[in-house]
């Protein structure tokens, strides 16, 4: 064997040994907590517990039933704690000063949604929040009603077209997604939806979005997949990037339309999102790339897990369990909302639970559809009003009958949003024809 080949082999062996030694040192010095969780393996921690793809909410619910409201996992040597009880939710999101999100999830999301409120930390997040918060102020909501109504009508027309008079099941998500996109273009951007929404078939967009969410989960659990170059090697990845390119093109078109304005117009106490971020003539209050990312960001609904990095030791379970600095906390609303001590018969659909004056065992932090504290959803009031308008529009027109099963609803992917593995379909029976 040539001397250089022998030297190369020796170098590779020593490099591997060095990496293994570092990983082993990180493992043996990892933080320990008195919180139940699945058995771990050296160096890789609980990686084998999340090998299935996609990881669904079933998996986390099974862990919850087994280990309780506080569960610990190890992502390699990194301590991860999932939290479900409202007392701990309140302490993490409201009482404590924890506002930093973990890089494990934000770096994966950043690949597709860029630098926005979901992915930024520190002073950059505070700058974005300060600028964007007033654009969803309650004083502006009345101005959005027409846009919501038009989006709701589009939603209804799409359901009517897909359902063929109630004879065929309709994909609820695709219809609602495009109705919400159209509302957002009109309300927050102030532009014609037909000019901004990608000119590609709606079913392709819905499929691509479903694939994006699955890929983000893969990137979160398998960091080596965070390369766009690897994504381009697969046909599914190329389809995702094509859709993403169309979306960014629409956002950049909106910025260009606003930049082309020559004057500000009448003075306003409150301005739309795009009016706040981009001034006439093209001057932006944030870097152009960040303006583009904040348009994009609001197209996604509420996240299923709220992450926080522990900047200093905190105590959970009413001061009984210490959590060390550096740990990652995941608040899990989809578990909190099903705790029977706060929501009796939790799987029953019962809107009367939320009637004013209803007494019970409610906790102020037992229901958090838009998060809590300083990093709650900036568009929560916008979303609530939009949902009301959409529902009022479609319920006047259709009677809904199930096609998908309850199991299909439960089989949802754990990623940026709660997104079902299979499309959710219903029969939309026209009320005029049903005689109701």
404 and 269: one domain? yes
CA–CA separation, 304 vs 335, rounded Å? 9
Q: What pLDDT is attached to residue 301?
A: 31
pLDDT tens by residue, 59-105 = 899 999 999 999 999 999 999 999 999 999 999 999 888 889 888 77
345 and 314 in a common domain: yes
Rounded Cα gap, residues 119 and 106, in angstroms: 5
Quick one: how far is CA 1 from the chain centroid? 55
Is 356 a member of any domain?
yes
**Cα–Cα dist 109/212, whole Å:** 10
Strand 306-309 relative to strand 398-402: parallel, antiparallel, unpaired? unpaired
45, two tokens: 């921690």
pLDDT, tens digit, for every residue of 203-217?
A: 777 777 777 777 777
pLDDT number for residue 436: 42
Whole-angstrom Cα distance, residue 63 to residue 239? 34
What percent of the chain has pLDDT above 70? 89
Give the DSSP H/E element, type plus range, for residue 398: strand 398-402
pLDDT < 50 stretches in the chain = 296-301, 434-436
Same domain, 190 and 236: yes
For residues 262 and 134, state if they share a domain.
yes
Q: Which domain holds residue 22?
A: 1-30
Return the pLDDT at 177: 87
**Same domain assignment for residues 251 and 316:** no
User: Are residue 161 and residue 291 in the same domain, yes or no?
Assistant: yes
CA distance 310 to 36: 19
């Amino acid at each position: 064997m040539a001397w250089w080949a022998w030297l190369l082999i020796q170098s590779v062996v020593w490099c591997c040994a060095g990496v293994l030694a570092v990983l082993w040192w990180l493992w043996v010095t990892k933080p320990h907590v008195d919180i139940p969780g699945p058995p771990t393996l050296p160096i890789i921690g609980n990686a084998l517990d999340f090998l299935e793809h996609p990881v669904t909410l079933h998996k986390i619910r099974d862990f919850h039933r087994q280990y309780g409201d506080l569960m610990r996992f190890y992502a390699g040597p990194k301590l991860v704690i999932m939290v479900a009880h409202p007392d701990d939710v309140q302490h993490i999101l409201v009482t404590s000063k924890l506002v930093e999100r973990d890089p494990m999830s934000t770096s994966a999301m950043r690949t597709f949604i860029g630098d926005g409120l979901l992915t930024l930390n520190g002073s950059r997040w505070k700058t974005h929040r300060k600028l964007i918060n007033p654009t969803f102020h309650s004083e502006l909501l009345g101005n959005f009603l027409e846009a919501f109504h038009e989006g709701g009508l589009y939603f209804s027309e799409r359901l009517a077209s897909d359902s063929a008079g109630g004879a065929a099941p309709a994909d609820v998500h695709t219809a609602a997604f495009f109705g919400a996109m159209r509302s957002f273009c009109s309300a927050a951007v102030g532009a014609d939806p037909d000019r901004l929404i990608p000119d590609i078939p709606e079913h392709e967009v819905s499929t691509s979005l479903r694939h994006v969410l699955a890929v983000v989960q893969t990137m979160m659990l398998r960091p080596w997949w965070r390369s766009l170059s690897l994504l381009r090697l697969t046909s599914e990845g190329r389809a995702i990037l094509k859709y993403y390119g169309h979306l960014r093109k629409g956002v950049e078109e909106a910025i260009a339309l606003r930049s082309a304005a020559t004057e500000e117009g009448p003075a306003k106490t409150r301005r739309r999102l795009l009016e706040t971020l981009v001034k006439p003539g093209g001057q932006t209050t944030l870097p152009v790339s960040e303006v583009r990312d904040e348009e994009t960001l609001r197209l996604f609904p509420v996240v299923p897990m709220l992450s926080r990095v522990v900047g200093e030791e905190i105590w959970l379970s009413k001061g009984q369990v210490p959590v060390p600095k550096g740990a990652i906390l995941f608040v899990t609303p989809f578990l909190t909302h099903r705790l029977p001590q706060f929501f009796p018969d939790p799987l029953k659909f019962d809107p009367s639970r939320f009637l004013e004056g209803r007494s019970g065992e409610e906790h102020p932090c037992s229901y958090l559809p838009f998060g809590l504290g300083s990093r709650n959803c900036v568009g929560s009031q916008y979303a609530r009003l939009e949902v009301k308008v959409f529902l009022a529009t479609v319920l006047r027109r259709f009677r809904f009958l199930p096609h998908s099963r309850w199991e299909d609803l439960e089989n949802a992917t754990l990623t940026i949003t709660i997104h079902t593995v299979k499309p959710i379909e219903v029969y939309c029976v026209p009320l005029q024809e049903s005689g109701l």
